[in-house]
Amino acid sequence: MLVSRAGFIRGLIATTALPLTARAAPGQIDSAGAFHAEGITGNTMPWSAAPEVGGQSPLRFAVIGDNTGLARPGVFDQAMRQVSWLQPDFILSVGDLIEGYTDDRAMIAAQWDAVEKSIGKAGVPFIHTPGNHDMNNAETAAAWAQRRGPGYYAFRYKGALFVILNTEDPYTPMADKEAKQMYSMVDLMAKDPDKADRIIVDYMNQAKEKGANMTRTSGYADADKVNISDKQLAFVRDTLARHPNPTWTFVVLHKPAWKMASPAFARIQAMLGQRNYTVFAGHTHYFTHEVLDGHDLINMGTTGGIRQQDGPGTMDHTMLVTMSQQGPSYANTRFSGLMDVAGQTGQLHLY
């Protein structure tokens, strides 16, 4: 007997019981445009500010890719100014904003302070998703909890449901040797970005000749692990059950789990079923767009992070999403083409 892919996923989710979380009767999305968050238990919020009540204006938000690892100087900072020219309701990050992979609390704080200063230049709310550079050991996880709150949560806004996932649940540490190597390149990138980029390109070429992935050949293979706990899966299940009929569902996670043979994400896909949804991810530093069973799966490129392969998907860009009665429309815009009234981008180190 042949089993369809959808049938396989439905069977997979049915085989494993999940822990119970608090349930509520299915609710209707507030069509007036108010912002409602779920999964927040304390006073720390994973956004810079809540989006304003939208009234009758359509939902419009900008998605950005990874700033790190090895942030090219000035790219993320100026990108925040550029996105501000678009005036979205909010900016949605797919994660990897700090370099992380250190237990130095002062360094972690300084990295977040710099990111938050740049975010302030956007002038619109900024909504966070944790990446492996943001959350990778006890100290970075503690810093996230202190500054951002939960690692996964959901919110409703202007008729849509957003489910923010944490692919570092639990986090995966990096060996000290690899972390030191990474920081030697972080320091070089800050001092001489052109030299750092030449070294990266040479390394990419060597890896290509060996037929290997850049991250896997450098001892970073564990960074590609997708970790989504049963508790988080239960939260997703119950959130979707409470909100069966949003105008659209947007799922955001750092690692493109659909590319990484993740059983947990397969179960989430089964939970999503036939509702209208789009998935956004980052991590690979390479833009791709796939359509699976009629759903858009979008792997963002970078907003400052280094290239990891050559090709048309290596780009610094933002995805401007606008909702209409027909569903979302996507304006994929390179920062090299997003200019001010004087025809300037203000960028120096773009892909």
**Six-digit token pair at 258?**
């659909």
Residue where the block lists tokens 């490129």: 301
Output the domain CATH number for residue 247.
3.60.21.10
pTM of the full structure: 0.90
Q: Residue 287: inside a domain, yes or no? A: yes
Are 99 and 305 in contact, with CB atoms under 8 Å apart? Answer: no
Tell me the pLDDT of the chain (351 aa) as tens digits.
333 333 433 344 333 345 443 333 333 344 458 999 999 999 999 999 999 987 779 999 999 999 999 999 999 999 999 999 999 999 999 999 999 999 999 999 999 999 999 999 999 999 999 999 999 999 999 999 999 999 999 999 999 999 999 999 999 999 999 999 999 999 999 999 999 999 999 988 887 777 665 554 444 567 889 999 999 999 999 999 999 999 999 999 999 999 999 999 999 999 999 999 999 999 999 999 999 999 999 999 999 999 999 999 999 999 999 999 999 999 999 999 999 999 999 999 999
Count up the domains in the chain and report the number.
1
Give the domain extent around 103: 31-173+227-337
Q: Residue 200: inside a domain, yes or no? A: no
Q: What residues have CB less than 8 Å from 309, skipping those under 6 apart?
A: 204, 208, 214, 285, 286
- The whole-angstrom separation of Cα 95 and Cα 106 is 21
Q: Residue 164: inside a domain, yes or no? A: yes
Q: Residue 160: inside a domain, yes or no? A: yes
